[in-house]
Chains A and B, each alone.
Chain A
């Protein structure tokens, strides 16, 4: 199938009229976030594009999600703020590096677009999707779920406050109720 025939919905993107991705981006910039680390995901498409178009920030593509944990730890050592954008399957890749959060009390902010939860049609996504909260919890990362468009920006604002003012590691889970389940 050619790229042109795949709709955004088919890729698991938020609906085209959704404004919450832009609202989230504004919240992150208001908090002084200047490093956007990501492994591409349809649920983060708008955020990634906004960061790529913003000359005031560094947009850093990763080969694997744990690189983002390292990057954000380095940013903190240098007095800068970052955010890690990833899909839920990438959470599993981050676990050992999150020793920096639990053992080193580095602040972390991550936005996780969920797969394997509400309405998932791909069985491969279910095990890691369902493990996201327990494994993040085991590594000391606080989870805030955003199920609806009207609460997404507020969830990111809350998480950024907890990360950058209280020094916590916080993940915002952008659920499939919010983003929509990718059809199979």
Chain B
């Protein structure tokens, strides 16, 4: 498998270092690789909602969650293929620009789940530039380990939505068997986050 120099980090080390204390966030994880990354590193914690379908929904799910819970930090961790499928969602996040939302794209340049076909990011597409063009003001691309600590702080602070592109080698994420039932994931997440449930009207 080709391994272009800019795709150099090992996701199994770089993602946990970037995320750090996962309890600092409500997390929406994309499909496949990033879903395994986050469910593995959090030990299937209830505040991590990982997709296994609805490809392209991670960023807007994070946006809706960030608007619903302004007192919590919301972290979207998704892959290049998942983000490319609905890349306009970066524009939608940017125009709302919630300060408690951070989007991390773990970019391995490939569709790992389907046999490591090259994605557009291996063929010249730069998702950080697309995020900038979408209007996200705080962006980074991380290619080396020493760049991780600053980005790890950045996703925890700021006056607006941030975007971090992390270029990683196309190697496997942890072989973790996670819960694939979206209903049980949803109920666990809400049970943990809402603490008995919101008091919403029944007119």
What is the interface of chain A, defined by CB distance below 8 A to chain B?
27, 30-32, 34-35, 58, 60-64, 66-82, 96-97, 99-100, 103-106, 157, 164-165
Contact = CB atoms under 8 A, between A and B. Distances in A.
B129 interface: no
Nearest to B69: A78
B89 A63 contact: yes
Nearest to A63: B88
Interface string B136-147: 000000000000
B186 interface: yes
A73 B64 contact: yes
16 contacts: A31-B201, A60-B96, A66-B56, A66-B57, A67-B88, A70-B54, A70-B56, A74-B62, A74-B64, A77-B190, A78-B194, A79-B69, A80-B64, A103-B53, A106-B186, A164-B200
Contacts of A66: 56-57, 86
Interface in B13-39: 26, 28
A75 B69 CA distance: 8
A30 B92 contact: no
A76 B166 CA distance: 29
Contact of A71 (B64, B95, B197): B64
Contact of B55 (A74, A96, A164): A96
Contact of A35 (B64, B86, B88, B203): B64
Given A62-B92, A77-B49, A96 B54 contact: yes
B3 to A, nearest CB: 32
B89 A58 contact: no
Contacts of A78: 26, 64-69, 193-194
A62 B56 CA distance: 14
Interface string B74-115: 000000000000101101100110000000000000000000
Given A32-B200, A70-B61, A77-B190, A58 B91 contact: no
Most A C-beta atoms less than 10 A away, residue of B62, B65, B69, B88: B65
Nearest to A79: B198
Contacts, number: 141
User: Most B CB atoms within 10 A — which of A27, A78, A105?
Assistant: A78
A164 B200 CA distance: 9
B40 interface: no
Contacts of B200: 31-32, 79, 81, 164
A70 B103 CA distance: 15
B65 A104 contact: no
Contacts of A79: 68-69, 190, 193-194, 197-198, 200
A169 to B, nearest CB: 13
A58 B67 contact: yes
Among B26, B66, B193, B203, which residue has the most Cβ atoms of chain A within 10 A?
A: B203
Contacts of B28: 74, 77
Nearest to B60: A70
Contacts of A58: 67, 96
A164 B185 CA distance: 19
Most buried by A among B66, B92, B193: B92
B45 to A, nearest CB: 14
Nearest to B180: A103
Contact of A70 (B64, B69, B189, B193): B64
A164 B62 CA distance: 20
Sorted from nearest, which 4 A-B pairs have the closest CB atoms? Answer: A78-B68, A74-B64, A63-B88, A70-B60
Nearest to A98: B54
A31 B49 CA distance: 26
